[in-house]
Structures are given as structure tokens and as C-alpha cells.
Structure 1
Amino acid sequence: MVPRVGALKLKPQLFCGSERAMGPGKADLLDAIAVHGSISAAGRALGMSYRYTWLQVDGMNRCFAGKLVEATPGGRGGGAVVTDYGRLVLTAYRELEAALMQTASDHPRLAELETMMRDAPLPQGGDER
């Protein structure tokens, strides 16, 4: 889930070249793998397709200096774990996310912008000013 501060939605993303190495969705996927012990079960819990989930894990493992997820072949005894290195990356990302949220919530421009906004959008085609 992408965090919000009032009307502001923050979505910090880290890039490795042109590939997204970490963002809110990948962090949520790591959390789900830790809970479910399986890449496919984590994907199902998050409403992701099997292929998409595996591609996300592969991308994270290719972008960081160490593996974030270690998988064993499926079937009996198969599964996945978030590695110690993966937990370090996840903790660092979540702390960065929290720090950005705190900075945004304390920024006077956010409060100023929120006073300039309506509580809800006008209906489409509404020209009321």
C-alpha cells in the first residue's frame, strides 16, 4: 500500500539503471514472502499473477548486491525466504519511506496546497469556479 500524508501520496522508487529496483509494491511483496514462505503464495495474497510475481523477485535479486529472496524449487519442501540481506534492504527502504512521510507531513507547503483544494472533485463537466 502506498502511504499518504493527507492529500499527498508518496511513492519512493529506487532505480538500478532503467529498472525499478525497489518501491512500495516490491517492499510489500518482500513482506508477503516473509509471511507466506512462498513467492507464488505471496503473489496470490497481493493479487499478482504468478509470472509478474516471479519477474519482480528476479528484478530485485538482479538489482541488489546480494539476493533479497532465496527460492527452492516448488512442490513438497519448496518455498522462498527473504534473506538476511533482503531484510536489511527492506528495513532501510521502510525507514526511508517513513522519513519522507515525516518530512512531507511537516512541510508548510503541503498544508498550504491542501487549503487550496476542494474536499472532493466537481462532477465531470462541472465548470463551477
Structure 2
Amino acid sequence: MRGMVARSTPPLVKPKPAPKLAPKPSLKLRMRVTVGDIIAIGPGKIALLQALDETGSITAAAKSLDMSYRRAWLLIDELNRALKTPAVATAAGGAKGGGSALTDSGRALITLYRQIEDTALQAAKPEIRQLMKLLAT
């Protein structure tokens, strides 16, 4: 092997990962109705009501939102106390088990909350466009 030059194998070249696309800016309104220091109605409570309506139980609703049962129960209790009529009707457990369900008031609350969000977004469209133009994207 005299006079021969040892050839080394070229290093493996890893392909460069595709460049990450910058996330597109979005706007989320987070309306809260307070009574003193208490958030009587807010996005978390509305999400909990919707989850309860979909799942049929506080336990399942809490799990779907990565929330403890106790936290969900406290939020529902706080909401019910803030309203003239409860948003959630609950039955104590027993031989047949307990249960929870949205009341007509709870369904109306979700509908009104979402309508207010939509109305506010529509009303502020020109200002939202101007705001988004200020972002570095």
C-alpha cells in the first residue's frame, strides 16, 4: 500500500431541518365579568360549562380541561352563586349516583357569552387589522 493515499470517507451530512414558519398572529378576546374581586363569568367558566354539557359530568368535564374535580366544582359553585338562577344543576351521589347538568340559564349564558365575543370582534375589525400590522411578521 505504499504510495497510496488513504481515502477517508466523507462525513455524513445531515439534512437541515425545514425552517419553522413563524406562527400567524391571532387575536383572542378574553372577556370577564367581575363582581368585586370575583370573576363571576369568564372564559374558563364558559369552557367548563361547555365541557360539562358535552360530557354530562363534572368529573369528565374537569378531565377534558386538565383540571382537578375540586377546581371544577369550586368554579361551578362560584358561578352558580353569582347568577340569579344556577347554570348547573347537581344531584348528590347515592345508590343511583349523582349527576350534573346544564340548566336553561347555563345554556343561555354560553350562547350570550359567545355572541358578545363575536359581536366585539366584528365591531373592532378595523382596529384589529391596524393592530396586527404593527406586529413584526
Matched, 1:63 2:82: yes
How many angstroms apart in 1 are the aligned matches of 2:130 and 2:87?
Answer: 40
Gaps of 5+ in 2: 1-24
Matched, 1:92 2:91: no
The total of aligned residue pairs comes to 112
Query: What's the counterpart of residue 65 of structure 2?
Result: 46
Could you give the per-residue CA deviations for residues 21-49 of structure 1, whole angstroms, max 9, x where no partner exists?
A: 11111111111111111111111111111
**Secondary structure class of the residue paired with 1:8:** coil
Q: What is the CA-CA distance between 1:7 and the residue it aligns to?
A: 3.4
Query: What's the counterpart of residue 123 of structure 1?
Result: none
**Secondary structure class of the residue paired with 1:114:** helix
Matched, 1:77 2:109: no
- RMSD (Å) for aligned C-alpha atoms: 1.5
- Going by fraction, where is helix more abundant, 1 or 2? 1
Q: Taking every aligned residue pair, what percent have the same amino acid on both sides? A: 39
Match of 1:27 among 22, 43, 46: 46
Q: What is the CA-CA distance between 1:64 and the residue it aligns to?
A: 0.6
- Looking at CA atoms only, which structure, 1 or 2, has the larger radius of gyration? 2
For CA contacts below 8 A with separation 6 or more, give which structure has more relative contact order: 1
Gaps of 5+ in 1: 1-5, 120-129
Matched, 1:18 2:30: no
